[in-house]
Structure 1
Amino acid sequence: MNKNFFLLCLLLCAFISKLACAQTSADHFQPAASNLSGVAYPKISGDNRVMVRLKAPDAAKVQVQGGDGLQKDPLDLVKDAEGNWNGTIPSAGPGFHYYWFVVDGVRVNDPGSDAYLGYGRPTSGIEIPAANEDFHLLQNVPHGVVREQWYHSEITGKWRRAFVYTPPGYDASPNKKYPVLYLLHGAGENERGWSMQGHMNAILDNLIAGKKATPMLVVMDNGYAVAKGDTTPTTNTRAEMVRRAATLEEVYLKEIIPVMEKTYRMLPGRENRAMAGLSMGGLQTMLIGVKHTDLFSHYGFFSGAVFDEILADPKTALNGALSDANAFSKRVKVLWFGAGSEEKPFTKMATDTRKKLEGLGIKSSYYESPGTFHEWHTWRRCLHEFAPLLFK
């Protein structure tokens, strides 16, 4: 046999073998890490396709649908002989996603996955592996604690709950005080979102262990506040979010901040307080935090819903907080915006808001999360980029 021909055959065999291995890896489906214990579906392949299954033998039509980055439009499932409806979502983005089934027109959760508050109701969630990213995963480092803090609000007439992250070593150093980040969730979610869907505790633990972030407390309170006696239905329209923010502002000033400073060891002063939020929480950070540079000095807007009308006249907006650009810039240490590259309305809002600020002579920073939409992996990345800038 010709020597060159023999070598060519060997190379061709090696290539075919490698290609077969790659295809096998891509086609190998495993149960999602977010599944309930012992549940086989949903399954995820090596190239992030998602195989779903729902047993509904009497149904006439079943679809699967999800939030940004997963399956925007309903996907029809196919029924097998055993009454299972099956289908494969062709390409899921990295990180956490909400999803649900539509059974004969009725939206139902997947019994194989845990449910999280999203879209204003308990909704199934799935965790898609993020290639070459582990900043949001638990690692073998010292861990902080997420504590549940209840308090009674005279303003709303109700008991309210916050989750509070205390950094590693908090209990071992009873005389040490810490700066604090007030971290707000988005519309349709609640105070559990940042620790459950967002993995903020793992993100902070890993940053602190790597000496990339200052040890800090993080307060995650409920972003909805209805004044006592207010019977107006709660919606997520622009006007309603702005109106409700006024009540939340009062709750922050008179209840949340005083309760947290009384309960936890916090360093005093505006230079030791930050506020940041995602989507609706970014809007609230603008309407509450930026209005009070006497209380805060670091601000983060993660896909912030800063509508055009909020800064229609930047010099008079927010009770004139931006009217003196030099004074504002001296008081504010961090003014940071972030968004996913694929959530175009929010990248535009960030760009437009920054241009208005620049027109006043106020500088800000911007980060764009590559390939992500209006979803939790965008906001995980935002927190990972933002937290190292605080309290330096």
Structure 2
Amino acid sequence: MKRIVRCTLISLFSALVFIQMINAQSDDSFVPVASNIDGAEFPRISDDLRVWLQIKAPLAARVQIGGDLLPSPDPVYLKKNEEGNWTMITPPVVPGFHYYWFLVDGVRMNDPGCNTYYGWARPTSGIEIPTKDEDFYIPKNIPHGDVREHWYYSDITGKWRRAFVYTPAEYETSPDKGYPILYLLHGSGENERGWSLQGHMSFIMDNLIAARKAKPMVVVMDNGYAVPKDSTAYPQSTSRGNQWVVLSDVYLKEIIPKMESFYRIAPGKGNRAMAGLSMGGGQTAFIGFNNPGLFSSLGFFSGGGIAVDIVSDSSVYGGLFSDAVSVNNQFEVLWFGAGTHEPSFAERNAVIKEGFEKVGIKGIFYESEGTAHEWHTWRRCLYEFAQLLFKKGTK
């Protein structure tokens, strides 16, 4: 019975899409999306945030769309016209950044009209659905920092690794100045490019620094995966928890020492922070809470894998949260954010907030209105979090 109901709902959704496509053929409110490759007419977007997709595949028997652009959990069929173009128009899409792809006769392929980004563990089409009256992540006519590609060899993994490193606009003209540093982690299925490309991290920081809402800082975005070259040194390293042990060692023994010796970083815990989204939020908790003397502030953006019973269970994170006074003295900022359209993460934060309030631990909890488990939630999180960092100076 459930299968029949599900199939009926999918059929109704497909019918709705087809009706909207027919009604929109003469609608001139659709314009090419900002994330398209240069000169591409499709995908297109309307004033009410409907998306018009089109791909030319005259010999194909069927074309579907997958990903998180549509509310349907299953691929949805496109319709073929006389010119061999397969098209559809979606219902209004939630603002933010969404991954999607086509299935052409069952073969997954990216949309040739838009840029690709590393998501879902491979290069994937991505589309930017604009958010009304928000420009904090848009480039402006102000001084801009640089994002550098920094390669280094890891003795722990036995491989070359890459970090993207943001330096503020003033970095090159202030050779005698040391800067605080933020280690910023990506989510599952993405990589070290995510914060720069999908997240627009550099524009967010440029705008904050130019407006004097945030201190000039260096931001390091490294890869969130680490497999040891010597598996005997890390038993069961294939499990997520043990992979995080490896990554923690890479940060403590390689990334942090290498970055803070190569770049002009001000010394001390008070000048070091870490934050991450989704999987990266859980990794931030694992690294930061198990090394409380290392970071002054920690941020969790839709943090996955964070223990919700961190207050009630004294065995979690070495019992760190059994002493509220110590926690408050250890950290300047403990920051938790999630979108209102990602209920499981918002609910996790609510439980943690309740536990903090019961014992008197200071935390900041933020909800991104109208966004889901996607990049605009995390852009807003970075925007809010970065403004609070490094206010007390070196400890």
Report the TM-score, using the length of structure 2 for normalisation: 0.87
Partner of 2:106: 105
Q: SS of the counterpart of 1:321?
A: helix
Change in 2 beyond 3 A, CA 1:283/1:116: same
Q: Deviations over 1:272-315 (max 9, x none)?
A: 11110000000001100122121101011000013547738532
Looking at structure 2, the residues matched to 71 and 92 of structure 1 have their Cα atoms a distance apart, in angstroms, of: 12
Give the paired residue count.
363
Looking at structure 2, the residues matched to 229 and 112 of structure 1 have their Cα atoms a distance apart, in angstroms, of: 43
> Aligned runs of 1:231-242 on 2, under 5 Å?
240-242=239-241
Q: Deviations over 1:298-356 (max 9, x none)?
A: 01100001354773853221123223221121120001100000101111111222333
Partner of 2:203: 202
More moved, 302-311 vs 50-59: 302-311
Change in 2 beyond 3 A, CA 1:26/1:80: closer
Change in 2 beyond 3 A, CA 1:157/1:175: same
Change in 2 beyond 3 A, CA 1:164/1:311: same
Q: SS of the counterpart of 1:311?
A: coil
Partner of 2:61: 60
Partner of 1:301: 300
Partner of 2:146: 145
Change in 2 beyond 3 A, CA 1:283/1:301: same
Partner of 2:353: 354
Looking at structure 1, the residues matched to 26 and 382 of structure 2 have their Cα atoms a distance apart, in angstroms, of: 32
Looking at structure 2, the residues matched to 371 and 275 of structure 1 have their Cα atoms a distance apart, in angstroms, of: 26
CA RMSD, Structure 1 to Structure 2 (Å)? 2.1
Change in 2 beyond 3 A, CA 1:24/1:61: closer
| Paired AA for residue 145 in structure 1 | D
Question: Is 1:43 the counterpart of 2:44 in the alignment?
Answer: yes
Q: SS of the counterpart of 1:171?
A: helix
The answer for unaligned runs of 5 or more in structure 1 is 1-22, 232-238
Q: Deviations over 1:134-159 (max 9, x none)?
A: 11000011101001111100001100
Contact kept in structure 2, 1:301 and 1:338, CA below 8 Å: yes
Partner of 2:389: 390
Looking at structure 2, the residues matched to 70 and 134 of structure 1 have their Cα atoms a distance apart, in angstroms, of: 26
> Aligned runs of 1:220-235 on 2, under 5 Å?
220-230=221-231
Q: Deviations over 1:358-381 (max 9, x none)?
A: 344312111101111100000011
Change in 2 beyond 3 A, CA 1:310/1:158: farther
Partner of 1:10: none
Looking at structure 1, the residues matched to 170 and 94 of structure 2 have their Cα atoms a distance apart, in angstroms, of: 35
Contact kept in structure 1, 2:308 and 2:352, CA below 8 Å: no
Contact kept in structure 2, 1:57 and 1:84, CA below 8 Å: yes
Partner of 2:286: 287
Q: SS of the counterpart of 2:244?
A: helix
Change in 2 beyond 3 A, CA 1:157/1:195: same
Partner of 1:160: 161
More moved, 300-309 vs 174-183: 300-309
Looking at structure 2, the residues matched to 266 and 202 of structure 1 have their Cα atoms a distance apart, in angstroms, of: 21
Looking at structure 1, the residues matched to 25 and 367 of structure 2 have their Cα atoms a distance apart, in angstroms, of: 34
Residue 357 of structure 1 and its aligned partner are, at CA, apart by 3.4
Looking at structure 1, the residues matched to 314 and 129 of structure 2 have their Cα atoms a distance apart, in angstroms, of: 44
Change in 2 beyond 3 A, CA 1:125/1:196: same
Partner of 1:91: 92
Looking at structure 2, the residues matched to 337 and 163 of structure 1 have their Cα atoms a distance apart, in angstroms, of: 24
Looking at structure 2, the residues matched to 145 and 44 of structure 1 have their Cα atoms a distance apart, in angstroms, of: 31
Q: SS of the counterpart of 1:284?
A: helix
Q: Deviations over 1:51-78 (max 9, x none)?
A: 0011111211111233267765432210
Looking at structure 2, the residues matched to 352 and 27 of structure 1 have their Cα atoms a distance apart, in angstroms, of: 47
Residue 124 of structure 1 and its aligned partner are, at CA, apart by 0.5
Contact kept in structure 1, 2:50 and 2:89, CA below 8 Å: yes
Q: SS of the counterpart of 1:357?
A: helix
Q: Which has the higher Rg, Structure 1 or Structure 2? A: 1
Looking at structure 2, the residues matched to 112 and 352 of structure 1 have their Cα atoms a distance apart, in angstroms, of: 43
Looking at structure 2, the residues matched to 136 and 61 of structure 1 have their Cα atoms a distance apart, in angstroms, of: 38
Q: SS of the counterpart of 2:255?
A: helix
Contact kept in structure 1, 2:69 and 2:100, CA below 8 Å: no
| Paired AA for residue 67 in structure 1 | D
More moved, 357-366 vs 257-266: 357-366
